[in-house]
Structure 1
Amino acid sequence: MACALARIHQSTADPRKPYTEIGSEDAFSGRSYDEKYISRLIYENHLPLNPTTAFLTPAFRNLNKPLTVDVKLNGEPPHTYEMTLQLLDEIYQGRVSAEDLLTEVLRFLVLIREERKKRIEILLDGLKSENKLTLSSEEIVSLIEQHLKCKNSSRLPVLIVAAAYQSVKDKLKEEVLPLASHQAADKQTRSFGDVEICLENEDQVVTVYEMKRKCVTIDDIDSACVKISPASRKINNYIFITTETIEDDVRLYALSCYERTEGTEIAILDCIGFLRHFLHIFHRSRARFLDTYQNLVLSEPESAVSQALKEAFLALRQAAEDRGSED
């Protein structure tokens, strides 16, 4: 899309040369077109694409040569990248106009967007029965646990913790700061972790959650201590949420960091254990938690939570509520 747009904007631009490092007069910055125009187009029209520039992906990063048909790009599936190079060559050879190609790509994206939107609407309609009994805390735990087992679910622990705090913020007098992109590094966002909790009506971070889809290590804890030490504001708790086993030596090491951090407690919690404990403490808010989690899942961009993962949650919730009605 960026290469086609560049050709439309500059008739002399070679769509196969989206790198200024090439040095020729017909080369251009594909990344600039991506960041200035394509990303905004994707975001504003909710197109089913990752709004992050494609020139940061491994296949297109750090290249300085024309994207001719004989170039081997390291991307999956290979056929997609081969066809991309072929389309760029079609524009260069004059067999397809850049405007026609860009128009057709956008047409397909809109069709895909509307098809996915319709599928979500159908699944949501199935959940609108007023006669269904609210799922119990343990049924919700089981539902979320099933969702976590789905493919490409690494973003979900962040949404679980955020939904927990958002659903009871009026009781806790604490609020969740806006979530950073799942692809953004802490250094870029100037954040301490994946979920940050501040006091109501204040911007003071008091609790930090860092999600791990692997075992938490002593190195992870040391890194947390480094982030905590220069903090100008007092962090009470730095909590790792993991979906893996918690080793005793690592847990004890975290416990020993209280004095080192001058009063910040570092703890490691099992993700499902955290959720179960939360739901039983705030049992009367369990329905609000489930609705909040659902809204967060559905509002995440495709790059963070895929369409399949969104549909899976709605289908799992429908099945769980149908079982409850039968019982």
Structure 2
Amino acid sequence: MKKQVTIKDIAKELGVSHSVVSRALNPNPDKNARISPETKERIVKTAKRLGFQRNRIAEFLKHGKAATIGVFMPEFSNRLGADLMMGISEAAAEYGFPLNFYFGMNYSSFETFIHKNIKNPCSGIISYPFEFGESEELKKLFSEFADSGGKTILLNTTCGSGFPVLYMNNQKGSQIAADFLIKKACSLYLVDNSHRGRSDSFLSYIDGKGFLDRCVRFDFQEFPTIFKRVADNRTGFPIGIFAANDQNAADIIRKVRELGLQFKEEIALVGYDDLQLAAQLDPPLTTIHQPFRYEGRRAVEKLINVIYGGNEEDESIDPFLVERETA
């Protein structure tokens, strides 16, 4: 078994004192402990080459806390949730922080999560308070955690807690979809209203390009009726369709096939999310990919910076188009 590299090993390798190495590798060093930038760079490079990893458990125990990062996530059983977990897990392992995952879809489960992390102080939390909205109760919970010294990064929320938020830029994703369909010179645009923020952004972009009069916004349960009427009275091809998510897009594919229409030539369909099913559909779905794995990694990096006294601002992550066979 490979021996764990210690600060003493690095000091011996470079011929410097143990205390110099300790100061160089301390993310929050004493302001009076001076070390030249050149020496610090040499120590950091050597530590990385030798495979040194900080003992986070011992480091945080000195301050009466656990090194563990608490993570609260909604119970998503799809690729988005899996990618987010992988990104968080990869980065936490890389930086030497243990993780505790908690799952829930209601306020009570989130309240339990916060109180557990106040009672048993952790290094910080990454929280995805899905669909809790803005409420005084939620703000009070976050204030309670902050007052206990808790450090937090929030994901994909607008709860207005005052903590840094890392979020997917749905506005950008919808604009990418709209621009893509505009370039297909669609005669008409059918816009799924299942996700109001995405449909609003799509239509706003279309309006800016002067094509709003070609748009029909629909509630998804009305799609079969609206689509048949549009297909029967069509004046030109292709008809562009923006689905609010990939599951809705899968239902749209079935309806298009029922009417005997062809993708690309007659129908241009763009979904949203890039779930695993998107590439397996027949035909494979052109869709907007949300990089949740990257978001997980960034969340850990931002939280660690906050834990060690750094400042973090809100940050958006841009989705991107994955072009397949439906457009």
- TM-score normalised by the shorter chain: which range applies? under 0.3
In proportion to residue count, which structure has more helix?
1
TM-score (norm 2): 0.25
In proportion to residue count, which structure has more strand?
2
Larger radius of gyration: 2
